[in-house]
Amino acid sequence: MQARLTNGWRRAALGLDAVLTAAGCWLAPRQRPLVTEMWRLSRSFPDRYTGSPLPDFLASLTPNRADLAPMDSEQLRRLVDAVARLDRRSPFGLCLRRSLLRYYYLRPAGVPLGINFAVRFRQPHEGKGVAGHAWNTLDGQPWHEREEDYRGFTVIYEWRG
């Protein structure tokens, strides 16, 4: 019960941070188009992926530009994470949306991220089946990912672009 309560408070705090981050950027006239672009890209992921092999889909997201290099990468990561967290209607899970958005936006900002895709069998309290997870890597190591969120998962596909 304590862990569930702690996770609930953590999710609430992350949600509030996402709202405040997105609102702050939305109020900044120079960043407003970027927020809108991120939102549209996030919403387009399911349609863009449908019918595509995963490597082709990921290759289409591999940026070949460096136009975000002047932007602070930590500020950009926080903004990407906020947009991913607030896109609650997407059929893609939060971890997948966040990984794809980080990959797409942070690589042109000079952060050469990859993406790990992994699975594990669900714990008894989670119900039957397989759970999936995706996270970004930098130099082969998890990047801005808590160990407890990827522990126990077996990587089945790595994308380095």
Question: For 128-152, what is each residue's pLDDT tens digit?
Answer: 999 999 999 999 999 999 999 999 9
- Is the pLDDT score of 5 beyond 60? no
- Is the pLDDT score of 13 beyond 70? no
Give backbone dihedrals phi and psi of 114, rounded to 5 degrees, phi first. Answer: -120, 180
The burial class, CB within 10 Å (0-12 / 13-18 / 19+), for 9 is exposed
Count CB neighbours of 107 within 10 A.
20
Sign (positive/negative) of CA torsion 71, 33, 65, 82?
positive
CA dihedral 149, 49, 100, 17 (to 10 degrees): -80
- Is the pLDDT score of 1 beyond 60? no
Binned at pLDDT 50, 70 and 90, residue 51 comes out as: confident
Q: What is the mean pLDDT of the chain?
A: 86
Q: How far is CA 122 from CA 2, 39, 76, 131, in A?
A: 20, 31, 33, 6
Which of 46, 42, 1, 2 is closest to 22 using CA atoms?
A: 42
DSSP assignment string, 138-156: ETTEE-S--HHHHTT-EEE
Please enumerate in sequence order all residues whose Cβ is within 8 A of that of 97, keeping only pairs 6 or more positions apart, or say none. Answer: 42, 45, 84, 87, 90
pTM reported for the whole predicted model: 0.83
Q: How far is CA 146 from CA 14, 122, 143, in A?
A: 14, 19, 9
